[in-house]
Amino acid sequence: MWQTINQVIGWFNNNQGFVIAILTTLYVLTTIGLWLAMRHSNKLTKESMMRFYRPFITIDLQPDKDLLYLRLKNTGVIPAVDVLVQFEEQIRIYNNNMLNETIRNLTIVGPGQEIKFFLDKKNSFIKRNNEIQFITGKLSYKSPLSNTYEYEEKIHINIKLYNEVIIIRG
């Protein structure tokens, strides 16, 4: 037994350069593997944070007594920048103005910020746009953290639902 151990020790002593080269190679490969794993982990963490730390703009109609508003609200945790609202239909609002002409590019919508656009009296709006059942279009905006994070939401609002809405204040 001792003779075998002495032979192994002798072999290692005679081949020190080879053994050190093998161990160094294993060390380098392990370091590269750990670096790749950390890089992947950091990428996943960044993607996860960007899903949480992002703007999120909602758009809907908001009746208030007999008036009707279009409401844009950022329910995200950071501001939305370069907000662009595009409607597919030509929607007429008060004084025969067009909704597309009223809402232009918005530079920034802060977290929790709500912007209301007056459309008209509810009944007048419904009558003026009686041939349209849905307001459809596209809402796009960016994250201020990076221009590579652009978001696009589809707009699909049923106008006829608001014809039946009764608001009860208590």
Does residue 47 register a pLDDT over 60?
yes
Domain-located, residue 81: yes
Domain-located, residue 77: yes
Cα–Cα distance for residue pair 22/20, rounded to 1 Å: 5
40 and 81 inside one domain: no
63 and 146 inside one domain: yes
31 and 69 inside one domain: no
What mean pLDDT comes out for the span 50-72? 87
12: left (phi over 0), alpha (psi -120 to 50) or beta: alpha
Does residue 169 register a pLDDT over 60?
no
For the chain, the domain total comes to 2
Give Cα separations from 111 to 91, 95, 107 (angstroms). 28, 32, 13
**Tell me: the pLDDT tens digits for 72-120?**
999 999 999 999 999 888 888 888 888 888 787 788 999 999 999 999 9
Under the banding of pLDDT at 50, 70 and 90, the label for residue 6 is confident
Does residue 168 register a pLDDT over 80?
no
76 and 14 inside one domain: no
- Asked if 141 and 82 count as a contact pair (C-beta separation under 8 A), the reply is yes
What mean pLDDT comes out for the span 28-33? 96
80 and 152 inside one domain: yes
- Asked if 152 and 138 count as a contact pair (C-beta separation under 8 A), the reply is yes
68 and 119 inside one domain: yes
Cα–Cα distance for residue pair 45/24, rounded to 1 Å: 31
Cα–Cα distance for residue pair 87/68, rounded to 1 Å: 17
Under the banding of pLDDT at 50, 70 and 90, the label for residue 29 is very high
42 and 87 inside one domain: no
What does the pLDDT read at residue 58? 92
Give residue 47's domain range.
Answer: 2-52
70 and 146 inside one domain: yes
Q: What is the CATH number of the domain that holds 141?
A: 2.60.40
Does residue 146 register a pLDDT over 80?
no
Does residue 33 register a pLDDT over 60?
yes
Cα–Cα distance for residue pair 107/104, rounded to 1 Å: 10
